[in-house]
Amino acid sequence: METRTGRKQQKKKKKSVLKGILTFVFLIFLAAGGYAGFQYYEGLKQAKPAAQLEKHYDDFQAADKIEGIQNVLLLGIDARKKGEVSRTDSIMVGQYDTDTEQLKLVSIMRDNYVDIPGHGKNKINAAFSFGGPELLRKTIEQNFGIDVNYYALVDFKGFEKIVDALSPEGIQIDVEKAMSKNIGVNLKQGVQKLHGKELLGYARFRHDARGDFGRVERQQKVIGALKEKFLSVSGVVKLPKMVGTIQPYIDTNMKTLTAIGIAKDIIINKSNIQTMVIPVKDGFKETRYPNAGQVLEPDLAKNKEALQEFLVNGNQETEYGLSSPK
């Protein structure tokens, strides 16, 4: 029969074991937090604060949130000197469904010729020059019927640095042809590892017969390659450093915890990114206007319907095509 003294000793022993386990877990979290903090500040040291984006888009009107759905307007820009207007080279709408854990990415080609509220018709990327992300948000909503909750502007210099922080040895890409014109680097054809500046040049190249269509394909290809790298153990471990690295080069209306939560879910989520492009195949014509030059004039009804279908019900990649250059 177990004595009272024996029960007390056994209870004391259990408490001691539990205390030891909790202490061990606490130390693990403390060490992880310390490492994360160290990596974050290492990232900040690698960035150049003098090049950071001006944060002045307080007029952005976020859409009402839909249960489980987060729509983010993603813009890649060339940051200019103070007083100069930055141009947006890449326009995307990213949608993440927290219920299904599905990530969808819509690339809106910058040469889409649309009505810009208060400014008449022009290329869609002119909306950013006229009125920043808020006017671009209104333009996308008016023409394509999709609104967004957040915006995120990323300076291309930040893209270069985050690639190099994530993978110092480079990101493997199959470069389909030799590229050099207006991208600041010389790329040879074939499978190779590209560092930040080279990968950015690859994603931005547009000086061939496929123009922006080819560039959009490459942008989505690069995003897929980066996501795969993030999914590796090394990518997850380096996340705090990358947050610190890119911070001076990003402007967003997201709260820090919201951004971290979405980023964490996307990185951990192993499902494929579903993609589409606006304009869709057979949903535009190429033409020229005096105020904008060569443009893509979209069939708004067709593109709006396709975009709605993709974001609400779509499971497949939407096709698009390229007419012969005029």
The CATH number assigned to the domain holding 64 equals 3.40.630.190
pLDDT of 264 higher than 70:
no
The answer to whether residue 261 sits within a structural domain is yes
Q: Evaluate whether residue 8 is within a structural domain.
A: no
Residue-range definition of the domain harbouring residue 180: 49-312
Q: Which of the pair, 254 or 10, is modelled with greater confidence?
A: 254
pLDDT bucket at 76, cuts 50 / 70 / 90: confident
Residue 42 lies in a domain: no
Cα–Cα distance for residue pair 325/286, rounded to 1 Å: 8
Decide if 15 is inside a domain: no
**Contact yes or no for 186/208 (Cβ under 8 A):** no
- Other CB atoms within 10 Å distance of the CB of residue 139: 27
Number of domains in the chain: 1
∠169-41-72 over CA atoms, to 5°? 75
Closest to 225 in 3D by CA, of 189, 191, 276: 191
Domain membership flag for residue 299: yes
pTM of this structure: 0.75
pLDDT at 34: 41
Per the domain annotation, does 269 fall within a domain? yes
Nearest to 75 by CA among 148, 145, 167: 148
Task: Calculate mean pLDDT across residues 229-243.
Answer: 66
Highest mean pLDDT among 59-73, 86-100, 176-190: 176-190
